[in-house]
A and B are shown apart, each in its own frame.
Chain A
């Protein structure tokens, strides 16, 4: 489809929107029908599995892509841009449905290439360097992943996910390393903040909203298929949530806060794999709308924003999205958070509640920005409002899907968390300025971290 739009440049926008809508329709259909397993070409072949879990992820991807295309509608991007967006969309969908290691590898590599081209779209030196850094990190991780995949094949003579049960622990460690890096989890995911914050607004919305989930879904699937890995993945979920939120609280740059909060939200998805799908959906919607909104703010520095009132209409959108991610009732972030916190194991509860509190603190910075109506409102493209309306409307709709959450106890708890978070924000975090070093995000350290992570994983799976 992407190639067709390259051949017919005049219809590029319509065509790509059509693809996204088709995906939405298909994902909605998935919720009603039974899980479908496709096995092409015997036991060595490609296996696909489409069930409600991947339905959530596909729906996220489709909505985010549609919003991004609407946002770019009048921005004069070339056909090349739309082609890449659709290629990315397609390969992310492919990564969501496949259940064997090799199709997953191919899908993930296509994702790397397409997102590199999107990141490097402005053709400035900074964009190219950020893109190269991303491509390099993910490719090295994927090489480790390939070694792991062949070890699985050696043990079980098939590349299917279930084969990992019979494989050696080394294979497990290598494959997990690849997926953890790709999904931006824990310390191996520190490439993510710079990449997501430095790319253009629509691209970072797409990367943060949909693309990182391509590494997360296989991990969730592994946790569901093989019970022994479940604690391992949950542990990584908690650690990631805490790490991401810890950085996000101290950050001063709006886009970097969002990127770090992506890291922590991915931790939430992994912390309760059974219900990760719904959380992924709400997070994708919220994060891409936040990125799009922050993209139209006059400055990226929070300090400047505190002295420079923003337009009220933008502020309302920003506040709704921030409320949803903090887990405020009436928005789907609330349902997702309640569902996740309910499915935690006892030892996870403390960590995840701290992470939820941290999220509230980090997003209090956005909610309490000053706002007013300027005399001459700046003209914002209608595409922006269309995209935001789509995303926030879906947030409200998704809220209905889990209405059992509305018990008194469930409502009081998030409200208490939010109140406590705001209190802490006003008392402490408003005044302190602490600059965490960006030391670990340098390129060499990313690769070094990867080897540390590998050793850690080896140690964990051996034990």
Chain B
């Protein structure tokens, strides 16, 4: 059940990337997709047990597998930095396009 939800999230993100026209929306869809992937890693980690794998004297039950969690932490950081980079790129692009539109407008008004 949970697994189906996770895959639905990934697919939602993917379709968002395909169908959205706005670049910022595309980036947000990509974020959705990566959220799905992260959730899937957490899900895989929790197959063995649900408790946080911290060393202590009392044993609360089965531990979650720490390896996928550790791995996905790296992936979260990378994904986050890539998104920041892409947003900067889109902002810069928008600024350049805005400016070129303005110069074109200025030229048109000068001709009249």
Contact = CB atoms under 8 A, between A and B. Distances in A.
Contact of B93 (A105, A125, A143): A125
B93 A132 contact: yes
B64 interface: no
Contacts of B23: 132
Contact of B97 (A105, A116, A125): A125
B23 to A, nearest CB: 8
Contacts of B30: 136, 139-140, 143
Chain A interface residue number, banded: 20 to 34
B85 A129 contact: no
Contacts of A147: 10, 37, 40
B17 A116 contact: no
A306 interface: no
Contacts of A124: 96
Contacts of A153: 44, 67-68
Interface in B19-65: 23, 26-27, 30, 33-34, 37, 40-41, 44, 47
Contacts of A120: 89
B67 to A, nearest CB: 5
A146 B37 contact: yes
Contacts of B34: 143
Contacts, number: 76
B43 to A, nearest CB: 9
Contact of B86 (A105, A136, A150, A448): A136
Given A143-B34, A153-B44, A135 B82 contact: yes
Interface string A113-155: 1001000100111001101100110011001001100100110
Interface of A: 44, 102, 105-106, 109, 112-113, 116, 120, 123-125, 128-129, 131-132, 135-136, 139-140, 143, 146-147, 150, 153-154, 159, 444, 447-448, 451
Interface of B: 10, 14, 17-18, 23, 26-27, 30, 33-34, 37, 40-41, 44, 47, 67-68, 71, 74-75, 78-79, 81-82, 85-86, 89-90, 92-93, 96-97, 100
29 contacts: A102-B71, A105-B75, A116-B85, A120-B89, A123-B92, A125-B96, A125-B97, A125-B100, A128-B89, A128-B93, A128-B96, A129-B93, A132-B23, A132-B90, A132-B93, A135-B89, A136-B26, A139-B82, A140-B30, A143-B30, A143-B33, A143-B34, A143-B37, A147-B37, A150-B40, A150-B68, A154-B47, A444-B18, A451-B18
